[in-house]
Every structure is written in C-alpha cells, then in structure tokens.
A and B are shown apart, each in its own frame.
Chain A
Amino acid sequence: MTCTPAAPAADMPLATLQRAFRDWLVEGDEAAAQPLGAASGLAVYQNNYRSALVESLEASYPRLLAWLGSERFAACAATYADAHPPHHWTLDAFGDRLAGMLAELYPDDPEIADLARLDWALGQAFVAADAVPIGPADLAAVDWDSAAIRFVPSFDRLVLRGNADAIWRALVSGEAPPQPRTELPSPVVVVWRQGFETVMRRLDEDERRVFDLARSGLGFAATCETLAQGAGEEAAVALAGRALGRWLGEAMVAAID
C-alpha cells in the first residue's frame, strides 16, 4: 500500500488553497505547491490538467491536428494552455481563442489559423440551436418591401486568407492536400447545418454581394435597390433572386420577415 503524508494545508483558508492549486496547475509554481501536498500526488493533478486540455483541443481541431501533425500540434497546445488557461465551465469552450493565437504565431502560414477557424466554426455549428429552415413554399406571405433574411442559428461566415477550405476537405477525405496558397479576393466560406450534418462551401462573387448587403441589415427590397445602382433593376432582382433561391434550397434560411 502506498501512503501519502497529510499535507500541512489545514490552516490555509480554502480560497487561498484553491488559488495556490491553480498556480501549481497553470504555472507549475512549486512554491505555491509546497504547502499543498506530496509531489507525487500533485504531479497526477498536473498531468490530468494538461492531458485534458490537449485532448480537448484535439477534439475541437481534428483537421488542424492532421495538418500540423501530433508533435507540432502538441507544442501549439502547450503554448496555448499557458497563454489562455481554461475559463469556462465547459471544456468544449477551451479552444475558443486558438485561431487568434495561431494567426500571431504563424503570420506567413495563414492556412494554419484558417484551418483552426474552419474546425471551430463547424464544431459550433454542430451543436447550434435547431431550426426548421424555410423553403420556396413559405414565401407566399412575405412582404418584400420590408422583409429581411434571417439565417439559421448554425450559420456562420468566415473570410479566409487562401485555400484552407480545400486543404480541409482533402484532410477529411484522406486525399493529398493541395499546397497552401493565398487568394485575392479573400474567399468567403459559409458554414451551417443541414439537419444534423454540418456543411460548408464558398460563396460565389454574386452571392457574396447579395449576402453582404443582406447581412448588413438591409431588407430585401433595399438590397435589390442597392444592387441595381450598378447592374440595373432587372439584373439586380435576378441576382438577388438566384442567391436567395440557392440559400433556400440549401436549408440556410430560417425566416424572411
């Protein structure tokens, strides 16, 4: 039987003990740990803490892990854990700032942060609130002069620096990923859920113009008017109609009201 000696922490107020324990876990502060107990036991908690954080990031960022490889990913995870100790009651939220850190760490490899943003956005979409998307049959009563498009709760839009979406798809399908390259104009990717399946795709140039106006809060009629300033009224209505029709067909729209 292995016995650990009782630690002399009984006189320490509970709040002080818990802050010292935090300092040990986050910073490996041995001075903070000294009054807490035997090194062997503290090492178990330190290991549990670090392991759980790395496993959480691996679960949140599966394609980033595949892209970086486990060794480089683990180094990123350790740097991230030091810089951003977990703050939320759910471990699933731990990685919410990883992409920002990667953008700073790897300014010349923008696909790294972009892959992280795609993984994160798809993970968020997976557990976003449910919604019944509307279809073309639901448009009969819409007042187009005032109507604005509301996308489903799982919907998100990302502006990428390059072809991270193609790399992501290749990693999912097990194909050789393309070489990373930057693109101008910056690709816009939308992420959402069809039923329980998360999906993503790029917006084409026409869709993007309609989307940016619609997302800025303009109603559908005002969107068409703005588009008409460049394209003419008939073309603008056709452009907006095509985009909206596609979005409706792909279960992206929760309401037009």
Chain B
Amino acid sequence: MTQTLAGFGLGMRRPHHAAYVEGSAPVDFIEVISENFLVDGGRPLDTLMRARANYPLALHGVSLSVGSADGLRADYLDRLKLLVERVEPAVVSDHLCWTRTGGFNAHDLLPLPMTEEALGVVCANIERAQDHLGRRMLFENPSSYIAFAGSMTEWEFLSAMVRRTGCGLLLDINNIFVSATNHGFDALAYLDSIPWHAVDQVHLAGHSQGEALLIDTHDRPVPDSVWSLYCAAVARGGVRPTMIERDGDIPPLDDLLGELAIARTIATTGARVGEAA
C-alpha cells in the first residue's frame, strides 16, 4: 500500500540497515537511492522490502537525467517503474540536472543553463517520466559550481517547471546555501520565491570548503549556516517532510538522530534550542 511522507526521516545507509530492518530506528520515514535497488534480486532488495515494511519510503534517484537534450532512456524508466511498483513508495524524486548525453553517463549532477530551451527540454522529460510512472515526481535543486548565463533564476526555472508539469519539489536547503555562496545570489530571496505549495520534501546536509568553492559533500554534520537557512525556510513555507542526507564518513545512528532532533525543534519552535524564535 502506498503511504504518505510526513515528519522527519533519514537516508537509509548501509551501516544502519539492521536498525531499519528491525524497525528500531525512531524516524518517521526513510529515503534510499533508487539506483542501489534497480537490481534483479539478492540481499539489497530484501533489505529494502523489510525496511519498507517498517517505514514509509522515499525513492531518490540520480540517473533520470531530466535535463538531457536527447531525452530519457527507456530502459531506465522501465527499471524504475518496476521498483516503484514493487515498493510502492510515498515519494519518487530525482534532480534538476543532467547526467547523460548520447551514450555517455557522467554519474554526476551536472548543471543546466537557466534558459527557455533547457526549460522546454526539462519539462518534456518530466512529463514523459511522470506519464511512464503514472505518478507525480519531485525534483531537487542541485548544488552547482558553475553558473551559465541564462534568462531566469533557478527559482524562476523551478516555478515554471511546477506550473507546466505539475511536478513537486524536493527543496535541498544545503544546496541552496552552497549555490548561493558559490554564485553570489541571495538564499533568502530564493526561499521567498519558491512555490511552497509544491514543496513536498526537504533535505538537510553538510558541505565542505573547497579551494575556491563550497562543495556539496554530505560527509559532515549539518552546519549552523544550513540550520539558519532551514529556520528561514520553515518561517516561509511551514514544516515539510524533512530529512538528513549523509553519504560519507557516516556516523553512528544516534548522531544522525541528534541532528534530526534539531530539525524537529526548529519545526516546533522556529529556532534551535537556545536561540530566539
């Protein structure tokens, strides 16, 4: 049975699989990387099905390549549809980016120019994906390290996507902070302009300082800068299903639950403990 996403969750990562399979992790939902489970069988799928029995599930993809000028891959859509039918997730998401051109797949979330041409490509691909899966998808704002000249801002692009395709948004607060810092735009203006009615999930994560740019590494705790922006997001859009994304240097589950407790506090009070609301 398809469930709905609510509350506060975590990405299900291998060191903590046992807790999710047992159902002992006190979270409201889990998210997995779709591609890790687009396989024929074996332990990974069994683990997912057992965890799915305990928690509502979000499928988060990285390979749809909704920004590819030459369209989507039918074999990928078919595999994703099989998984969706198998696990009946509450949410299916991917990223506003491209990963593939022709027969080449970069396996990275590559940036798009914010142009009318790109918007047309993205919307056509979203419509095809949503038609194929028979359901609405969410798309996440990526971190970026170059900004092409374009005719609109990222939030204008996302708003147009929502209007034209009916898709939802997965708002990544860390990615807004990283891109705003790297490209010099106002993160609060971004939050002011997002179509909040379409935001069905929120990601929180940490980043690293590279030589010249902030890098979206997901390998450290959520920093104060991102918590502050999350407070601003809650003030503007209210509380959405929120989770911590941690992909590297994965700490004990209790550490991540501690971070999730901060998110809950912010959602309840509008501020971190000890801070003025």
Contacts and interface: CB of A to CB of B under 8 A. Distances in A.
Contacts of B113: 9-10, 12, 14, 17
Interface string B8-32: 0000000000000000000000000
B215 interface: yes
Contact of A89 (B41, B45, B100, B147): B100
Contacts of A44: 145, 210, 213, 215
B105 interface: yes
Interface stretch (A47-55, A183-191, A211-219): A47-55
Given A44-B210, A90-B63, A6 B148 contact: yes
A8 B149 CA distance: 6
Most buried by A among B40, B113, B146, B182: B146
A40 interface: yes
B192 interface: no
A13 B113 CA distance: 10
Contact of B70 (A15, A38, A88): A15
Interface in B90-111: 98, 100-108, 110
Nearest to A21: B110
Contacts of A37: 146-148
Interface stretch (A68-76, A109-117, A125-133, A138-146): A125-133
A1 B184 contact: yes
B193 interface: no
A126 B76 CA distance: 21
B43 A196 contact: yes
A14 to B, nearest CB: 4
A25 B106 contact: yes
B145 A4 contact: yes
A153 B40 contact: yes
B117 to A, nearest CB: 5
Given A14-B69, A86-B105, A89-B75, A127 B44 contact: yes
B46 interface: yes
B107 A86 contact: yes
A12 B150 CA distance: 11
B160 interface: no
B121 interface: yes
B211 A52 contact: no
Most buried by A among B43, B46, B63, B103: B43
A210 B65 CA distance: 48
Given A18-B69, A127-B40, A153-B40, A4 B146 contact: yes
Q: Chain B contact residues (Cβ within 8 angstroms of A): what range?
A: 35 or more
A10 B147 CA distance: 10
A14 B181 CA distance: 25
A127 B41 contact: yes
Interface string A36-63: 1110111011001100110010000000
Given A4-B146, A45-B110, A22 B39 contact: no
Contacts of A92: 35
Contacts of A32: none
Interface string B189-219: 0000000000000000000001111110000
Given A1-B181, A13-B69, 6 more contacts: A15-B101, A17-B113, A49-B106, A86-B106, A90-B35, A130-B40
Interface of A: 1-4, 6-10, 12-15, 17-19, 21-22, 25-26, 36-38, 40-42, 44-45, 48-49, 52-53, 56, 85-92, 94, 126-130, 153-154, 193, 196
8 contacts: A14-B113, A21-B110, A40-B145, A42-B146, A52-B107, A56-B107, A128-B41, A153-B40
Interchain residue pairs A-B with the least CB separation, the first 5:
A37-B146, A41-B146, A3-B184, A41-B145, A130-B41
